[in-house]
Structure formats: C-alpha cells, structure tokens
C-alpha cells in the first residue's frame, strides 16, 4: 500500500464530503467526541461558540458566519450523523458468511453425505454365509425416513418406525415448544 501524502488525503476528504453540508457541519462531525467531552453534559453557549467558529473561518452552507440557531441545528444534525455512522459500523451483517451466487465458483459441488454403513452383528454373519445367502439376504439398513407431509401437518421424523403414542407425545412436545 502506498503512503498517502497530505495532498492525497485532502483530495480524498473532498471527494468523501458532500458540498450539501457546511464546513461547520464537517468540523462538528470530525470533533464530535471532543465537543461532547468539553460540554460535559452542559448546555453549549452557542453565542461564544459562534464567535470562535467564525474567527476560525467556519461557515454555514451559504458561506456566512454561523448564527446561534444555525450552530445549534447543525450540532443536532451532526450528532445524528455520527450516531448513524456508529450504528452502521456496529451492525452485524444479516447473514454472516453469506455469499452471493455470482461469487460461488462454477466448479463448486455440495459435500456428498454417504448413508450410514450397515452394521450386522458378527454372530449372524457366519450363519448367513453358510446358508449361501447373497447380498439380498443381508438385513436392510435402518435408515429412518420422515413421514410424508400432507397439508399443514407437522413433519414427524422417523414416523415409520414409531408407535402412535410416541408420535403423539412428540407432536405435543413440539407444539408446547412452539407456543412458549
């Protein structure tokens, strides 16, 4: 990264700042924390402030020295702008880690999840082998399948291998969690 000279910094500052705001506004934004600390929760003497600000060359949007009312309103707007900047900086992205589809590689593929391995007790394997049983005789893997969802019914996992009492208890438990 290259060093920024004072000229470069001033040019970038001019690009960043809108001409719709006065030099007084930008000064207040830059020195927000210092003004807050100096006022220490007390009312600011806008008459004294305007005298010093005009002596330093700070002006309103028309290039005139600031009035008390103008300075007070500018301070209100500057405080709101600083608060908005800080809120935006502190805000978390709505979905951390989200990636726009245009940023995903065309070669990307989802990770393949293999079904669980069939586990057959070691004691039954010799019996199956001696009987001359082929792969079709091996026990089917116990892969649970969710019940078919019809309309507004709840999706009950593993409903195929559950009793009606177990399903009812599960549904009641889920409904109680929803209505908390």
> Is the alpha carbon torsion for 22, 25, 29, 34 positive or negative?
positive
138 against 43, higher pLDDT: 43
Kindly state the percentage of the chain with pLDDT values over 70.
66
pLDDT reported for residue 55: 93
Mean pLDDT of 54-80: 92
Render pLDDT for 12-38 as a digit per residue (tens, 0 to 9). Answer: 776 667 777 888 999 999 999 999 998
Domain locations in the chain as residue ranges:
20-90
**22-31 exposure pattern, b = at least 16 Cβ within 10 A, e = fewer:** bbbbbbbbee
Render pLDDT for 119-174 as a digit per residue (tens, 0 to 9). Answer: 655 555 555 555 555 555 555 555 555 554 444 555 555 556 677 888 888 888 88
Answer yes or no: pTM beyond 0.85. Answer: no
**Residue 94 confidence class, pLDDT cut points 50, 70, 90:** low
Alpha carbon distance 136, 114 (integer Å) = 20
Q: Is 112 a residue whose pLDDT tops 60?
A: yes
Pick from 86, 90, 79: nearest CA to 36: 79
CB 74 within 8 A of CB 28: yes
Q: Is 97 a residue whose pLDDT tops 70?
A: no
Give the contacts of 154 (CB within 8 A, at least 6 positions apart): 171, 174, 175
Nearest 5 degrees, angle CA 153-CA 156-CA 158? 150
pLDDT reported for residue 103: 79
Q: Is 93 a residue whose pLDDT tops 80?
A: no
Alpha carbon distance 142, 16 (integer Å) = 64
Alpha carbon distance 34, 94 (integer Å) = 33
Query: How many Cα atoms within 13 Å fall on the side-chain side of residue 57?
Result: 0
């Amino acid at each position: 990264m290259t060093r920024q000279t004072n000229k470069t910094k001033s040019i970038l500052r001019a690009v960043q700042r809108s001409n719709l705001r006065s030099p007084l506004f930008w000064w207040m934004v830059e020195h927000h924390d210092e003004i807050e600390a100096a006022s220490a929760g007390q009312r600011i003497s806008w008459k004294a402030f305007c005298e010093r600000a005009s002596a330093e060359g700070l002006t309103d949007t028309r290039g005139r020295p600031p009035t008390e009312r103008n300075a007070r309103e500018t301070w209100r707007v500057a405080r709101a702008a600083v608060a908005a900047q800080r809120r935006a900086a502190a805000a978390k992205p709505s979905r951390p880690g989200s990636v726009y589809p245009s940023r995903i590689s065309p070669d990307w593929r989802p990770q393949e999840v293999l079904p669980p391995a069939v586990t057959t007790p070691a004691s039954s394997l010799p019996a199956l082998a001696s009987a001359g049983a082929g792969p079709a005789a091996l026990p089917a893997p116990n892969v649970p399948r969710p019940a078919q969802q019809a309309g507004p019914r709840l999706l009950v996992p593993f409903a195929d291998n559950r009793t009606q009492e177990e399903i009812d208890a599960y549904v009641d438990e889920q409904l109680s969690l929803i209505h908390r």
